């Protein structure tokens, strides 16, 4: 704790060096008037990124490379009925600072439901020209009026961005960054980042400076920027963006990584002050974004009632929220595989007592429409658990985006839960679509490789999950 306090004092006093550049170079002020766009572009570190969307507000995010005033100017895409240009609005202005890694959360709150908007980033009052679209949308007010609209969302986990100076020696672990171009080309309404969205390493996870530097390095990947700028983004974490590999509740700096997570993502809510868990809805679907690290007992602990994965209070909230939800599809999003019964790696099966409790509770409460979306395993695969007297549980694992791929154990492909033909062992992403009338909604799952080639497709009807 003393080291953290000392570091904060140094940061606030301008004595520390962050992100590999000197304080003197970083803190040169940016003039508010008369500067060319090239100067403003240089000040932009990463983003802009579109965060959560609702009917009355949208959150946006940006990071600068030095202290600067930032703001978003936005307008509805179409002209007004009288032919005049649409009215422009501006978000709150934020002065970025070193203590928060020069990040800013900006709220667009002059919006209407079911609209699309174009926006511009302003640094010191000057527009930053970007070579890709900058757009966001608000969610539709469809309830009691129409069937819910069709929508599409991307899914991916495990994003490693190489940095040779601090990476382990040998073959680079990351690659295939063009996957973000292929993903953006699909124009999803939003993106689910399902853990390991950045990888902290030995140089990173023991200090706040290291964590923020690594988050900054990953977020600054050029290929990622167009996806961030025009697609709403929601995230959870897994071990690598939470702490070291396979880290659990004992991780000593989890308050720091939670702070970094909140600085770099723009989720709509956090259910617990010490956790990244939250939830959001999109049309007739609800997403339950779970935290599989903060409350997690060590993997090697013997199974039993005390070996927690999500832990009592998170499970109770989840079951209450699932019971309350009227969503057609209820997506439980978490890092590790849930349905796969293999007691290896970090699968939920090695926490069998809690896993059985969760499955039984969903069945006993007769909660319809539950599916799992997971990551972690560095390959994509679909598992389906048939259950007596009720509907099957699906678990869609999508992984990796840019980390190195890995194959499952041979025995995992012999399991009755494995859905034949759904294994992909290249870098890949998922594109999920929900369509059809409210009484007969259909979930379509497609998996694409890093070049954007479709590898497989499956449909799951809501009527199957009742």
pLDDT score of 31 more than 80: no
- Helix/strand/coil for 255: helix
- Residue 326 vs residues 143, 367, 369: alpha-carbon distances, Å: 12, 10, 10
Give kind and range of the element (H or E) at residue 466. Answer: none
- Helix/strand/coil for 382: strand
Q: Mean pLDDT over residues 38-42, rounded?
A: 76
pLDDT score of 7 more than 70: no
The contacts of residue 165 (CB under 8 Å, 6+ apart) are none
Q: Give pLDDT, residue 317.
A: 98
Q: Which residue has the tokens 């702490």?
A: 243
- Helix/strand/coil percentages in the chain, nearest 5: 25, 25, 50
Q: Give pLDDT, residue 415.
A: 97
Q: 151-465: what fold?
A: Purple Acid Phosphatase; chain A, domain 2 (3.60.21)
Q: Mean pLDDT over residues 28-41, rounded?
A: 55
Q: What is the pLDDT of residues 341-379, one digit of tens each?
A: 999 999 999 999 999 999 999 999 999 999 999 999 999
Domain ranges of the chain: 2-137, 151-465
Q: Give pLDDT, residue 22.
A: 30
The dotted CATH code for 2-137 is 2.60.40.380
Q: Give pLDDT, residue 84.
A: 84
pLDDT score of 1 more than 60: no
Q: What is the pLDDT of residues 9-24, one digit of tens each?
A: 333 333 333 443 332 2
pLDDT score of 411 more than 50: yes
Q: Do the domains spanning 2-137 and 151-465 agree at the CATH topology level?
A: no
Q: What is the pLDDT of residues 161-205, one digit of tens each?
A: 999 999 999 999 999 999 999 999 999 999 999 999 999 999 999
Q: Mean pLDDT over residues 144-171, rounded?
A: 97
Q: Mean pLDDT over residues 436-442, rounded?
A: 98
């Amino acid at each position: 704790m003393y080291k953290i306090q000392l570091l904060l004092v140094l940061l606030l006093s301008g004595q520390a060096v962050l992100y590999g550049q000197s304080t003197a170079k970083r803190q040169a002020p940016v003039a508010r008037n008369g500067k060319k766009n090239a100067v403003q572009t240089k000040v932009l570190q990463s983003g802009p990124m579109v965060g959560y969307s609702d009917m009355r507000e949208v959150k946006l995010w940006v990071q600068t490379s030095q202290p600067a005033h930032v703001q978003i100017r936005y307008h509805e895409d179409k002209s007004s009925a009288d032919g005049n240009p649409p009215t422009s609005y501006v978000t709150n202005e934020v002065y970025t600072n070193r203590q928060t890694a020069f990040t800013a959360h900006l709220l667009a709150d002059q919006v209407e439901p079911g609209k699309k908007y174009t926006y511009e980033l302003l640094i010191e009052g000057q527009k930053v020209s970007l070579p890709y679209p900058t757009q966001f949308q608000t969610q539709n007010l469809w309830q009691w009026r129409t069937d819910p609209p069709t929508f599409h969302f991307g899914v991916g986990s495990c994003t490693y961005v190489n940095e040779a100076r601090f990476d382990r020696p040998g073959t680079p672990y990351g690659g295939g960054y063009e996957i973000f171009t292929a993903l953006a080309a699909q124009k999803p309404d939003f993106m689910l980042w399902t853990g390991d969205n950045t990888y902290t390493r030995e140089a990173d996870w023991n200090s706040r400076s290291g964590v923020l530097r690594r988050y900054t390095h990953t977020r600054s990947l050029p290929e990622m920027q167009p996806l961030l700028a025009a697609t709403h983004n929601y995230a959870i974490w897994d071990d690598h963006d939470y702490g070291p590999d396979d880290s659990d509740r004992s991780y000593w700096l989890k308050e720091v990584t939670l702070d970094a997570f909140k600085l770099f993502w723009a989720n709509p809510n956090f259910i617990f002050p010490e956790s990244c868990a939250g939830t959001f809805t999109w049309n007739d679907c609800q997403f339950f974004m779970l935290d599989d690290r903060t409350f997690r007992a060590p993997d090697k602990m013997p199974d039993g009632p005390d070996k927690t994965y999500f832990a009592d209070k998170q499970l109770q909230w989840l079951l209450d929220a699932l019971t309350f939800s009227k969503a057609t599809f209820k997506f439980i999003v978490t890092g590790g595989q849930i349905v796969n019964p293999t007691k290896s790696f970090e699968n939920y099966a090695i926490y069998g007592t809690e896993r059985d409790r969760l499955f039984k509770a969903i069945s006993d409460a007769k909660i319809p429409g539950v599916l799992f979306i997971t990551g972690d395993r560095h390959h994509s695969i679909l598992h389906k658990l048939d259950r007596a007297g009720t509907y099957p549980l699906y678990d869609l694992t999508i992984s990796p985006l840019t980390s190195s791929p890995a194959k499952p154990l041979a025995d995992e492909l012999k399991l009755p839960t494995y859905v034949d033909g759904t294994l992909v062992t290249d870098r890949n992403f998922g594109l999920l679509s929900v369509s059809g009338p409210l009484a007969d909604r259909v979930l379509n799952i497609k998996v694409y490789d890093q070049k954007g080639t479709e590898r497989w497709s499956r449909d799951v009807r809501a009527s199957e999950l009742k």
